[in-house]
Every structure is written in structure tokens, then in C-alpha cells.
Amino acid sequence: MLNVTSIYAALIALFFMWLSGRVIFYRRKNRISLGDAGDKSLLKRMRAQANCAEYAPIGLILLALIEMSGAPAFAVHLLGLMLLAGRVSHGVGFSASPPRMGARVFGTAITLTMILLSALGLLVHSLF
């Protein structure tokens, strides 16, 4: 069982549901059923949701592989926290009005750092 990865997968899924809810409720409130209708606020919400959907899966796959490879629980937690903090920071910063560029940049940086560290760790572990 992937006990540690399961925690972060569940938390990121809940955050993704929050991002999705923001899109859905905004669409219903403003009667926009398809596309963004040129509405910049809706577009920001849609992109925040899509960005999470683009980066979270690879991060969670890598996290699961790290855990399955026998990495210490603290290392898996650290990587999981990086992924969660990165996705939340980016999603909130990106969809805020006005956007919080510091949060967005931090979120992107910490997410990409987590992906890079995980990929390198798996390569080193697998090759040596």
C-alpha cells in the first residue's frame, strides 16, 4: 500500500475539486456553457484548473514510484509536501484577481523542483 502517496493524492484531488468547483459555479452564475466567452476571470479559473491537471499526475506518479522504491517516509513526505504546496500556491496565485505572481512563480518552481528531484532520484536508484 502506498500510504504516504495516498495522502498527497487525496489532498491534491480535493484541491483539484475546489478549482473545478470555481469554474463550474462561475460558469453557472454567468451562464457560460462552452469555452470562456472572452471572460478573462473564467479563463484564469480554467487555466488554474488545467494547470493542476497537467502537472499533478506526473508528480503523483513519481511520488508513488519513489515510495515503491523504498525511499524513507520522510523523503516521500517532503516530496509530497513540495508537490502539494506547489500546486496550491500556483492555483491560488494564478486564479486570484489580480494574480499573485509571487505565489504563481513559487508554485511553479517548487512543483518543477519536486519533479526534477524525483526523476533524478529514481534514475540514480535504478542505475546504481
Domain ranges of the chain: 3-127
Q: Count of CB atoms within 10 A of residue 111's CB?
A: 24
Going residue by residue through the chain (128 aa), what tens digit of pLDDT does each one get? 999 999 999 999 999 999 999 999 999 999 999 999 999 999 999 999 999 999 999 999 999 999 999 999 999 999 999 999 999 999 999 988 888 999 999 999 999 999 999 999 999 999 98
Q: Give domain 3-127's CATH architecture.
A: Up-down Bundle (1.20)
- Asked if 45 and 23 count as a contact pair (C-beta separation under 8 A), the reply is yes
